[in-house]
Amino acid sequence: MRYFTFFYLYAMQGIPAGFALTALANFLIGKGVTALAVGSFDALIGVPWIFQFIWGALIDRYQFSLMGHRKHWIVFSQFLALVTTLCLLLIKNPVAELKLVTAIFFVHSIFASIQDASVDAAAIAMVPKQEQGRINAFMRSGLLLGVAAGAAGFSTLMHKFGFFYAAACQSFLLFVFTVLTYLTKIDRSDSYMPSFNLKNDKKNHGAKTENPNLKWLFTQLYNGIVHKNSLKTFGMIALVYLCLSIFIRSYTFQLIHFLHWDDNQLSVLQGTWGSMITILVTLCGGIIADRIGAGKLQFLVMIAVITFFLVFSSLGHFWANRTVSTSGVIIYSMADPLFSVAAMPVLMALCLARVEGSQFTTYMAIVNLCDVIGAYVSGWGMSITTAPVIGFICGVAMLVALVLQKIRFSKQNFSI
């Protein structure tokens, strides 16, 4: 039940993401919207995710209620996200009304980011450490399935029936998931009402269910974030996410704008074969992470990502060949989630007790900031150079950072 719950909660997050960042973004490129405009669209949608550390602090401050541990936050944010998506039904022409579409997805992202922070905090608190690799694999697989539905399914709906029907389908799916979440109880004795009065709660075991005060919470959060091991570990992870964000947006624009790929065909490819293969790889990656250790898997995936960036970018002249460019889409679709499966348990292990929501969402806020920066940088970069050059620069940047980190680690061991 735990695996299923976190799977569909992440699938719910993936549906709007696939719709906005893949199906709609590709649709806009296909309609002749500039790279800078599409990059700005992606970046603005990602801005609310930068402030996840604020949501994390509030979630940890009021983490216990009679509805269940952090469940009230999940249901509350899902309901408001659903209400926001209903506004998309008023859009007639997403290209002509791009500013309004961006504003609606921006507001939706606020509530979606709160839901994401709540789910992540609940996962860290509820899942045993020896299962965190597998649970992250299920969460990521759910996200991929949602993205696949949003990318391939809604892209097809837009092209065949129009934007309205794609938006209506999204709203219906989010409604179903919201009702399912409300009816699902973390514990049998949980209430369906989000009362914070725990005095008469039979599950109250003193400090374990007391909501912490803000001063203590922020002190612990600061100690966890600025710890030397935390800064070193997360710095490398953030760089990889930044490079992944820059590359995929540049590559997508190159395929549609310069190599004349049909945007719907690309969305379907990213949402079907790419996601199906990736889900299988991700689930296997979760098992491997629990067996050999997430840190070791993270290092191996980083080596693979760097190699892919350097080699594939060097073959930019051959991207006009459909087989080569299609393989690039599929390989990238495996690299991103597999790295997340390895990196998320590493970050979870760094989180301190009772502030796990705040600390993990702070990490995620910075990761999302990297994604926003990557979206803007890719739009700017494509106006002055090509995707192969951008991909090669990203590969070199990751390689240099990894080598410097290993040299520093070797010197520390030698001095000891």
Of 210, 3, 285, nearest to 127 by C-alpha is 3
pLDDT tens-digit map of 241-261:
999 999 999 999 999 989 999
State the CB neighbour count (10 A cutoff) for residue 183: 9
Which of 61-70, 169-178, 186-195 has the least mean pLDDT? 186-195
* pLDDT computed for residue 239 by the predictor: 95
Confidence of residue 169 (pLDDT cuts 50, 70, 90): very high
What's the pLDDT score for residue 284?
Answer: 78
Angle, CA of 39, 81 and 19, to the nearest 5°: 40
Rounded mean pLDDT, 6-23: 90
Q: What does the CA dihedral 150, 153, 262, 243 come to, rounded to 10 degrees?
A: 20
Name the least confident of 81-85, 236-240, 286-290: 286-290
What proportions of the chain, in percent to the nearest 5, are helix, strand and coil?
80, 0, 20
pLDDT in the model for residue 188: 66
Average pLDDT over residues 397-411: 81
pLDDT of 414 strictly over 50: no
Q: What is the pLDDT of residue 206?
A: 44
* Residue 178 host element (H or E): helix 163-183
Mean pLDDT of 122-132: 76
Task: Write down the mean pLDDT value for the chain.
Answer: 83
H/E run at residue 173: helix 163-183
Structure tokens at 265: 């065909």
Is 108 in contact with 79 (CB distance < 8 Å)?
Answer: no
Q: Is the model's pLDDT at 162 over the cut of 50? A: yes
Question: Whole-angstrom Cα distance, residue 387 to residue 393?
Answer: 10
Looking at residue 202, its pLDDT comes to: 44
Q: What is the pLDDT of residues 288-335, one digit of tens each?
A: 877 888 788 889 999 999 999 999 999 999 999 999 999 998 888 888
Collapsing DSSP to helix, strand or coil, 205 comes out as: coil
Q: How far apart are CA 175 and CA 191, in angstroms?
A: 21
What domains are defined for the chain?
A: 2-187+213-415 (1.20.1250.20)
Q: What is the pLDDT of residue 204?
A: 45
